[in-house]
Amino acid sequence: MRVAVKDLFHLKGVNTGCGNRAYRKHYGTSDISSSAVQTVMDLGAIIVGKTKTVEFGGSQEVIGDWCSYLHAFNARGDGYLASTGSSTGSASNLAAYTWLDVTLGTDGKNFL
């Protein structure tokens, strides 16, 4: 299965940014993979990339000049629906890319 992971999860050899450019730059690449990511890899999943998230997995809308990244594009939206919230990138990627089988998101702060 092809899996994309939310940018709150660590993926060995890849930067974890938690939706924040300063955090990504400060911490660099990860030396480990989060347990959830490692579990799906051990089961044979192919990690294809990371998905956007709001800063540090909060629930705020990603608008304004203070944010590090804009919200993920809502491929199924009608022009009025913005994709906002913590796992918006995971949901948007799954909706947009038919070749993507699964995305990992979170519901809370326990993601490592």
In-domain check, residue 107: no
Q: What CA–CA distance (Å, rounded) separates 56 from 59?
A: 9
In-domain check, residue 94: yes
SS3 label, residue 65: coil
In-domain check, residue 37: yes
| Cα separations in angstroms, 42 against 16, 29, 45, 49, 81 | 20, 21, 7, 17, 36
What is the average per-residue pLDDT within 4-11?
93
In-domain check, residue 106: no
- Whether residue 21 contacts residue 69, with contact meaning beta carbons closer than 8 Å, is answered with yes
Which residue segment(s) compose the domain that 47 sits in?
A: 2-100
In-domain check, residue 23: yes
In-domain check, residue 111: no
pTM of the model: 0.78
Domain count, the chain: 1
Selection from 64, 65, 67, 69 nearest residue 6 by Cα: 69
Q: Which residue has the higher pLDDT, 40 or 89?
A: 40
Q: Which residue has the higher pLDDT, 51 or 3?
A: 3
In-domain check, residue 105: no
pLDDT at 66 over 70: no
pLDDT score at 95: 82
In-domain check, residue 7: yes
